[in-house]
Amino acid sequence: MTVEDSGAFTQWDLVRLQNKYQMEYANVIDVPSITTIKLDHVINNYSAAEDSLISVVKFPDPISLISARLAASFIYDRLYTQSNAPEISAYGKTQRTLATNAIDDVLKGIILLTGQDHTGYRFARGSLFDAFKSAADITKGEEKEV
């Protein structure tokens, strides 16, 4: 499939192809050039460029790491409480603290999400007015776990 810029696509990404009448999902097999991607299976025809759209369907990397940490902490705590007296484990508490700190960093703008749109000022990027000098200048919040 020919696109304007294949820089956003990587191998095994899930993409959505759509136009006004149909939609389907496919996996990227290869990115051979700067304007070409190869997909594993495409049933319909999306050759009309004016009404066709291809979108990458995936969450940015910090989101999947945060959700994996939260899921692991909850599962580990469930297994831990079945065999021991304390209600929560230190490992689960640590993973939840790391995940909530990462969520706070996303909300503060320390961790930028790929494809995130800037909102705010009309003619200037809002992130330029409240820019921080380094991550060390920002104080972290208190521990979330008790």
Which of the listed residues 6, 26, 56 is the one where a domain comes to its end?
56
Do 132 and 65 lie in one domain? The reply is yes
Task: Tell me which of 37, 56, 75 is where a domain ends.
Answer: 56
Task: Looking at the structure, tell me whether residues 74 and 111 fall in a common domain.
Answer: yes
CA dihedral 17, 18, 22, 28 (to 10 degrees): 0
CA distance 97 to 81: 19
Confidence at residue 136, expressed as pLDDT on a 0 to 100 scale: 55
Residue 99 pLDDT grade (very low, low, confident, very high; cuts 50, 70, 90): very high
Of 9-13, 107-111, 120-124, give the lowest mean pLDDT range: 120-124
Residues in the chain: 146
Q: How confident is the model at residue 100 (pLDDT cuts 50, 70, 90)?
A: very high
| Angstrom distance (rounded) from CA 116 to CA 101 | 19
More confident residue, 61 or 27: 27
Domain co-membership, 88 together with 117: yes
Res. 121: pLDDT tops 70: no
**Is pLDDT above 70 for 9?**
yes
Q: 119: domain range?
A: 61-137
pLDDT averaged over the chain?
Answer: 80
In this structure, is residue 103 part of a structural domain? yes
- Which tens digits make up the pLDDT trace of 128-137? 666 555 555 5
The mean per-residue pLDDT over the stretch 27-47 comes to 90
Residue pair 92/76 in contact (Cβ under 8 Å)? The answer is yes
One domain for residues 89 and 121 = yes
| Rounded-to-integer distance, Cα 76 and Cα 83, Å | 11
Residues 26 and 82 in one domain: no
Q: Residue 145 domain-assigned?
A: no
| Over residues 67-83, mean pLDDT | 86
Residue 69 lies in a domain: yes
Into how many domains does the chain fold? 2
